[in-house]
Structure 1
Amino acid sequence: MARDETKREEPTRRDFVTYGSTAVAGGLLAGCSKLAGRGDETDGESDSGSYSVTMAPMGEVSFGSPPESVFTRLTHHAGMAFALGRGDDVNAMHAPDYYDQLWNQFTERLPGVTLDWSGLYSSWDPDKEMLYELDSDVHLSDPASVNALDSWNAADIEEIRDTVSPWFGNKFSDRHDEPPAEWADRYEYYSLWEMFERVAAVFREESRYDALAEIHTTLLETIEENLPPERERPTAVLAGMSDIESMYVYTLDTPGFLTAHVRPLGPMGVLGGDISSGDTIDMEGMLEADPDVIFALGGMHPETDMPGIRSALQNHAVGQELSAAENGRVYSQGARYQGPILNLFQLEMTAKQLYPDLFGAWPTYTDGPYPEIPSDEQLFDRERVADIINGEF
């Protein structure tokens, strides 16, 4: 929708969202290494009721009230809004229909929790005019990653920030990738839950964060207490299996939240030092690594044929020699850009896939929602998580 060009030259039209005062070249803001105030995620609150939250690369961002409409690109941010009971406030995301179907494979196990992202604006490379039309209260997206798109520049980033609403997100913590050069001096990396704490502060949902973080911490403690010695742990590869002749693979020792559900379980990586996270390998390369376990990314999506993937490996001249294929250890996974709720489920499922004798067996997954796990073998309380999402805790 076309907009009156003069409107874009006005100061911020929302008096409840502004950036902090630390300016750098080009009008963008430096990030801060630490946050002040409650839980180190909220800088403080003014007499007028406005409050500020700091996260790199934006720096300090001030709000007068919690945002209601939420623009996102990547699903770790959308998943954070969902965890805070704001899933239906999301108005844009990358591949919304795909991720709506995938996320709902997990929400099936959360009593009373619903989610509908179908039909939203697909925002991988967002059109600036659409951001005006969406008129969001916050852009829960990393401005550095948007600036890296060929269709965007620093002036566009500032324009949307000043005339629509602020940016608040961090993408390059996924694999600790290098941000664009103009953002490098203000960039910092966060764990998934460190980032979630700051996003929760934006929505003034600190209590929801605390409740979910307690579940997450307890889950990690359960895992750590039961892990076998390193010499007894299986080798593994995390891979995109849509094309078994050219598979995307992700190294397990790479820092970042893409492997936040695998690293705590300590499987041994077997990819060669010449392979970087996100590279592609062929079947001969996979056989050279020959992992005990293959995790198939997106394997729980309704349109992914897990039995077909297993059959294709077993019938492949090279693939049938893989230890994981021979031993029936090709397992489904969910999403790389996981939010906190998927992180809880994926920690549980990965624990069961790697160590069934310690954490209970993972059912041989073919299709459908996240399997029903016997209550005495669940590693976290679904009812409690559902109550937190629904604000009934």
Structure 2
Amino acid sequence: MSDNDGNSDITAGAPTRRDLLKAGGGTVIGAGLLAGCTGESSSGGGGGAEATNAVNETTTGENTTSGGGNSYSVRMAPMGNVAFDSVPESVFTRLTHLAGMAFALGRGNDVNAMHAPDYYDALWNQFTPRLDGVSLDWGGLYSSWEPSKEKLYELNSDVHLADPAGMFSLDGWNRTDIGEIRDNVAPWFGNYYSDRHAEPPAEWKDSYRYYGLWEMFEKVAKVFRENERYEALAEIHRGLLDTIEANRPPANERPTAVMALPTDFDKIYVYKVNNPGFLTAHTRPLGATEAFGDGTSSGDAVDMEGLLEADPDVLLGLGGMHPETGMQKVRKKLNENPVGKQLSAVKNDRVYAQGARYQGPILNLFQLEMTAKQLYPEQFGEWPTYTSGPYPEIHEEERLFDRKRVANIIKGKF
């Protein structure tokens, strides 16, 4: 398993799912051509062609191509080589890092399912007001954290931006179900365990690898034939990272920090800022000092005394920008708590709102900017005190990326 994508070579003429269905009279043929089930096994039974896949991500490289007619293929672990006979229109997602990629490519409103759609619709729309002419509506979509096979048939999507290995880990799903949906509805294309470099199911381990957020975005862009739009956004991202790298203070001058949102003081989930994986794509580049040592893992729960023992200089409040969170109430509650008010972050007014860890590329740009200002105000400008409402308006010369340029790219003007 690896952190980077390697090369991006070209392979032509891969048969599409539709071609295979036609050739087999409704039955997929050719085990080595099947995308998405490399080396799987399951106690749920099943066998046959989907048990093997001749493509190994670590030895064959990454590719996209036009084959005969309008067909093309894109490779990503753990699926292997995934064939498309046309650009997908309707888009199924589970997690918002992939929904956010569709949004960045101007396809946000083509998403038909996602985890907690009403919650994330409200959260994402705290950022869209800063992108002129860009709108998003995910409210009322199918909530797909544990999707049913029947619902996937009903949605009849053109692509499932979801990790088949992640689906395999859900109750009620086995290898046969995953292959059935892939062959009869639409391909799978997603990678879940890159979130924090977690271990995939044993049946998928040999075909798995880890990707950064923007590496994965590049592959999703190829699915939608949007390479140019990806490159335009990636250029902005690279510029932002260069700005951060050039201006952040030396390591010995950086504050201690942790991501957490203390609402239940008996059970505070804490997340490290430098962990591997795309969940820290907005904090890791900033290189703050971890508040918690090796004895605490990212995602562990502590009580208020445990938080005080670590005593972070900066507390980054996950989901703090959601309209229902109420950062003013969170800060007030901390100041009124006999232990909470002793925290350095509380005493120094450094309890800040954050957005989402399962971020797509657009949220990543905003969150890199906001976190840079929250951690290093002297270098990147003060972060406005946030209580509620959309992402604060920042004066143009203090912005770390060009909102108008980003909005135009999303709208296809690049």
Partners of 1:325 and 1:21 in 2: CA distance: 48
1:111 to 128, 132, 139: 132
1:364 to 355, 365, 385: 385
1:243, distance to aligned residue in structure 2 (A): 1.8
Secondary structure of 1:105's aligned partner? coil
Alignment of 1:169-184 (within 5 A): 169-184=190-205
Per the alignment, residue 4 of structure 1 pairs with none
1:32 to 54, 57, 62: 57
Q: Is 1:162 aligned with 2:167?
A: no
Secondary structure of 1:190's aligned partner? coil
Per the alignment, residue 350 of structure 2 pairs with 329
Deviations 1:148-171 (A, max 9, x none): 011211111111111111100001
Alignment of 1:1-393 (within 5 A): 10-11=26-27, 19-20=34-35, 24=39, 26=47, 27-28=50-51, 29=53, 31-33=56-58, 40=62, 42-393=63-414
Amino acid at match of 2:197: H
CA contact 1:31–1:60 (8 Å) conserved in 2: no
Partners of 2:376 and 2:116 in 1: CA distance: 33
Partners of 2:358 and 2:107 in 1: CA distance: 18
Partners of 2:214 and 2:56 in 1: CA distance: 18
Q: Which runs of 5+ in 1 are unaligned?
A: 1-8, 13-17
Per the alignment, residue 6 of structure 2 pairs with none
Deviates more, 1:148-157 or 1:80-89: 148-157
Secondary structure of 2:75's aligned partner? strand
Deviations 1:166-190 (A, max 9, x none): 1000010000000111011111000
Count of aligned pairs between the two proteins = 376
Partners of 2:154 and 2:36 in 1: CA distance: 28
Secondary structure of 2:235's aligned partner? helix
1:54, distance to aligned residue in structure 2 (A): 0.4
TM-score (norm 1): 0.93
Deviations 1:27-85 (A, max 9, x none): 1545513775xxx5x33221323111000000000111110000000000000000000
Amino acid at match of 1:190: Y
Secondary structure of 1:304's aligned partner? coil
Partners of 2:134 and 2:195 in 1: CA distance: 27
CA contact 2:39–2:203 (8 Å) conserved in 1: no
1:270, distance to aligned residue in structure 2 (A): 1.9
Partners of 1:118 and 1:338 in 2: CA distance: 18
Partners of 2:262 and 2:27 in 1: CA distance: 48
RMSD in angstroms over aligned alpha carbons? 1.6
Deviations 1:239-260 (A, max 9, x none): 1333232111112231000011
1:350, distance to aligned residue in structure 2 (A): 0.2
1:21, distance to aligned residue in structure 2 (A): 10
Deviations 1:190-224 (A, max 9, x none): 00000000000000000000000000000000000
Deviates more, 1:97-106 or 1:143-152: 143-152
The alpha-carbon distance between structure 1 residues 21 and 90, as it changes in their structure 2 partners (threshold 3 A), is closer
Amino acid at match of 1:76: H
Deviations 1:76-98 (A, max 9, x none): 00000000000010000000000
CA contact 2:79–2:189 (8 Å) conserved in 1: yes
CA contact 1:161–1:167 (8 Å) conserved in 2: yes
Amino acid at match of 2:27: P
Per the alignment, residue 3 of structure 1 pairs with none
Secondary structure of 2:113's aligned partner? strand
Partners of 1:291 and 1:152 in 2: CA distance: 41
Secondary structure of 1:250's aligned partner? coil
Deviations 1:322-361 (A, max 9, x none): 0000000000000010000000000000000011111111
CA contact 1:300–1:334 (8 Å) conserved in 2: yes
